[in-house]
A and B are shown apart, each in its own frame.
Chain A
Amino acid sequence: MEDLLKVEDLRTYFFTEAGVVKAVDGISLDVRKGESHGLVGESGSGKSVTALSVMRIVPKPGKIVGGKISFDGTDLLTLKEDDMRRVRGSKIAMVFQDPISSLDPLYTVGKQLIEAIRANNETVSKEQARDMAISLLSNVEISEPERRFNQYPHELSGGMKQRIAIARALARTPTLLFADEPTTNLDVTIQAQVLNLMKDLKKNFNMTLVLITHDMGIIAEMTSRVTVVYAGQVSESAETHTLFYHPTHPYTEALLKAVPRLDKRKQLQSVGGNIPNLIDPPTGCRFHPRCPYAIQICKEKVPDYEEVETDHFVACHRWKELSLVGVQ
């Protein structure tokens, strides 16, 4: 399969008063046409900022300071803002974590959908847009779409708001959809509904999905390939099955050991320490202060991002000698 999105050595820094926060510091990512790609990491690991950088909507004081992003053959970082606006929505769209703040409270659901449908696309008449909006609402399995069309976001539940946000992202049938923790704020039974819906929509709309989450369960269930990020850098990337069963990075192993499982009781092995401060990140391998296998070289030298086998990459000095344990 060919790459739809290729991110190379992306650097996005935030120039704050306290110092430069290197939120994304050399992240590379390749997403293939038609796949569900998981981007997993903890808060502050740079997974959301990576998505915002691809869309070129990094909020101030953030700035993309380096790297290359090519999407379907186009270099997104050299596009003019006008051209980029055409890419946004129609080619790449995004669903955010919090549907409460991503929908405008002052406009009805219908108005927001019509706006999304007609953005940079005046050939669609208002009446056509209305019909399209209603069919979008039924696509995301909202009951009574005609009535919901005229309602305001505050009249809807959290699960329904997230469905509206998804509908809005799909308005221009994008080829690539970023979903940034789309179910984190939802209850588990609603999460199950929304995940199922996203699976169906991906198929029906023929989309490529990048799913950003910290939940290894969702990764296992929804994605075919995964990129693990830690402190603004990629630590490992592999097919989902390989990542869970044959991890080669100690951070991946630690994550798998630390996550409780519903189907069995196990001894949780916690990762010591805390998530590093990105103004002054650790030297060498950024995971070394928390890594049980760290040796001198890990403190001194940044590990290369090496190929373990086809489609499996890792950034660890010791991957060859360590035999790490995955899911058991």
Chain B
Amino acid sequence: MSDEVLLEVKQLVKYFDVFSRGVFTRKKVGEVHAVDGVSFAIKRGETFGLVGESGCGKTTTAKVILNLEDATSGTVNFEGRDVFELLKSGKRSDILQIRRGMQMVFQNPYLSLDPRMTVFDILSEPFIIHGHIGRSDWTARVYELLTKVGLEPYHAERYPHEFSGGQRQRIAIARALAVEPKFIAADEPVSSLDVSIRAQILNLMMELQRDQKISYLYISHDLSSVRQISHRVAVMYLGEIVELANTDSLFEHPLHPYTQALISAIPIPDPETKRQRIILPGEVPSPLNPPPACRFHPRCPYAQEICRTVKPVFEQVDTDHFVACHFWKKFA
């Protein structure tokens, strides 16, 4: 991993409009605050973990970064260039270049591969679009990709349904690699796979990173795998990042009460580890109408008056450790 920043996300906001249901009328009645002012930077060759519960906005963050959804506001810089600006007004060659640099691997490999295309077609389609590989080299390149992700060249003639979930996820990774990207957003890439298969995919991702210096945005609700694979981790709650730190300090010295609860909630596969568990009351509130000030206050065991009225600043508390909580000193 180098110190050079590859991708920088600044004050990213994504609201989804909510409409009332009428026969002929559509009236905007509210907004889902899916992502609300998220900022972070990912370095070259780094794995940046993004964790949180369902509905906290982690997937939307990735989709907006790759411009699969339009951002409401905010910017994304990739290799120092404004991605949204380039995609909006840029030349086709610029757009293709950005798209080649950033790829995504989705959660469900049963839905993300076209069932009517052979693996060869799936892996060579990026060559047609980007034209970076001459036609005579396609076969060799496809075989190379397959070998790289631990499959065999003869798999190229097969269709997705002939593969198991783990193998399909390998194909999805190979497809992302086909354009030689510098950045891959992996959205829960192992959560639909069986336990014994998950380690295969995580190890594959780490190997590829070592060989090709790829940066990952690793999105997951599974904190154990995040700890395994990430260099730094950000914790999201209701569209906001509440804590960001390098992996070891986040897991060993969590400063935000939500991070603490999240970590204590994960069962550890060791019967001799007995831990005090923090049980949060209630459920994640609706992002349609998030609580004022600190969004976590209705569930926070330490909440005081100030948490209901003043929004906590996202402040730096140590090298590479940021937190948004009025009372972080209490936990330091």
Which A positions have Cβ atoms within 8 angstroms of B?
A: 42-43, 157, 159-160, 187-193, 195-196, 214-222, 240-241, 244-245, 254-263, 265-266, 268-272, 274-275, 290, 327
Contacts and interface: CB of A to CB of B under 8 A. Distances in A.
Given A159-B283, A188-B265, A262-B227, A42 B196 contact: yes
Contact of B195 (A159, A160, A214, A222): A214
Given A188-B223, A190-B283, A258-B199, A274 B167 contact: yes
A221 B272 CA distance: 9
13 contacts: A191-B265, A214-B195, A215-B267, A217-B268, A240-B271, A241-B272, A244-B271, A258-B196, A260-B199, A260-B228, A262-B263, A271-B196, A271-B200
Q: Ordered nearest first, which 4 A-B pairs have the shortest CB separation?
A: A217-B267, A216-B269, A270-B199, A192-B265
Contacts of B266: 188, 217, 262
Contact of A261 (B167, B194, B196, B224): B224
A188 B221 contact: yes
Contacts of A159: 283
Contacts of B283: 157, 159-160, 190
B282 to A, nearest CB: 9
Nearest to B190: A260
Interface string B94-123: 000000000000000000000000000000
Interface in B183-229: 194-200, 202-203, 221, 223-225, 227-228
A39 B266 CA distance: 19
Given A43-B194, A190-B53, 17 more contacts: A42-B194, A42-B195, A157-B283, A195-B267, A217-B224, A217-B269, A240-B271, A245-B271, A263-B251, A265-B228, A268-B199, A268-B202, A270-B202, A271-B196, A271-B200, A275-B196, A327-B272
A115 B269 CA distance: 39
Nearest to A277: B164
B166 interface: yes
A193 B267 contact: no
Contacts of B271: 220-221, 240-241, 244-245, 327
Contacts of B3: none
A90 B266 CA distance: 33
Contacts of B167: 274
Given A42-B196, A187-B53, A268 B228 contact: yes
Contact of B199 (A195, A216, A265, A271): A271
A39 to B, nearest CB: 14
B227 A260 contact: yes
B38 interface: no
Interface stretch (B14-22, B69-77, B130-138, B273-281): B273-281
Contacts of A157: 283
A266 B225 CA distance: 11
A258 B190 CA distance: 13
A50 B203 CA distance: 33
B164 A189 contact: no
Given A43-B194, A262-B227, A268-B228, A327 B270 contact: yes
Contacts of A263: 251, 268, 273
Contacts of B323: none
Contacts of B202: 260, 268, 270
Contact of B268 (A255, A261, A275): A261
A195 B268 CA distance: 13
Contacts of B225: 260
